[in-house]
Structures are given as structure tokens and as C-alpha cells.
Amino acid sequence: MPRIRTLLVVAIALFAIAIPSAQAGQTSTGNLVGSVGPGFTISFTQNGKKVTSLKAGTYKITVKDKSTMHNFHLFGHGINKKTVVSTTSTVVWNVKFVVKGTYKFHCDAHPTILFGSFKVK
Ligand SMILES: [Cu+2]
């Protein structure tokens, strides 16, 4: 009987530890949108405003590639995700920003014209 009680205490303790860590790993949606095209324009916004910084964490990013001559390429600190230049697409990425620092995005076909960056703090 004491052995079962010990196991129960351990199980409850593990459960108590698991709950906060699950919450910490939750995805923040935050209405993040990466957009490129249809003209020569690229943007990364949150609720319609240009993103300059984000807290480290996992985010759901909706990427709208509205041009067959541009793509949206997000990269830095282990992140490297992109759409295809020759097609249009709308995709949702789950991106985990772990490392604090500057992240960049650009169009691979026009990296000196269409580019931007933001910080993860
Ligand atoms: Cu381009």
C-alpha cells in the first residue's frame, strides 16, 4: 500500500510539472502574416502592423505569396522556410523562434529590393 501511495505521489508530481511546460510550448497565433507581391512589395505584419520584434516562442505564420516571380523566404538562427518563386501559394508555418537575435526575410529572386528583418527578444 505505501508503495502505491508513493507511485501516486510521483505521478501527481510529474503531472504538475508537465502542465506548465505544455503551456510554455503553446503556439501563439498573434495574427502573423508574411506577404509578398503581387507587385514589388514584401511585408511581415502582426494584426496589420509591421513586426519589429517578437518574444521568443512558437508562432503560427500565415504566408501569402501572391506572385509568380517572388517568394517569401524567412531565415536566421536555425530557421529557414520559404515558398516557391514560380508559383503563388498561401501556407501556414509553425515557427519556433528559440534563439534571440535578428531574423530576416526576403524574396530569393530580388533579395536586394524585397527584404526586411525583425528581432526576437
Ligand atoms: Cu522577387
How confident is the model over 79-120, as pLDDT tens digits? 999 999 999 999 999 999 999 999 999 999 999 999 999 999
**What pTM, to 2 d.p., does this model score?**
0.78
Ligand 1 centroid to Cα of residue 95, in Å, is 22
Q: Which of 32, 56, 51, 50 is nearest to 121 (CA)?
A: 56
* pLDDT attached to residue 27: 61
Q: Which residue has the cell 516571380?
A: 69
- C-alpha 10/C-alpha 51 separation (Å) is 44
**Ligand 1 midpoint to CA 3 (Å):** 66
Distance 89 CA to ligand 1 centre (A): 14
Distance (Å) from CA 105 to ligand 1 centroid? 12
Q: Does domain 26-120 have CATH number 2.60.40.420?
A: yes
The predicted-structure confidence for 53-86, as pLDDT tens digits, reads as follows: 999 999 999 999 999 999 999 999 999 999 999 9
Q: Are 46 and 17 in contact (CB under 8 A)?
A: no
CA of 88 to the centre of ligand 1 (A): 12
Q: How far is the CA of 112 from the centre of ligand 1 (A)?
A: 9
- CA–CA separation, 67 and 10 (whole Å): 55
What was the pLDDT predicted at 103?
Answer: 98
Q: If you measure from the C-alpha of residue 42 to the centroid of ligand 1, how many angstroms do you get, rounded to a whole number? A: 9
* 109 alpha carbon – ligand 1 mean position (Å): 4
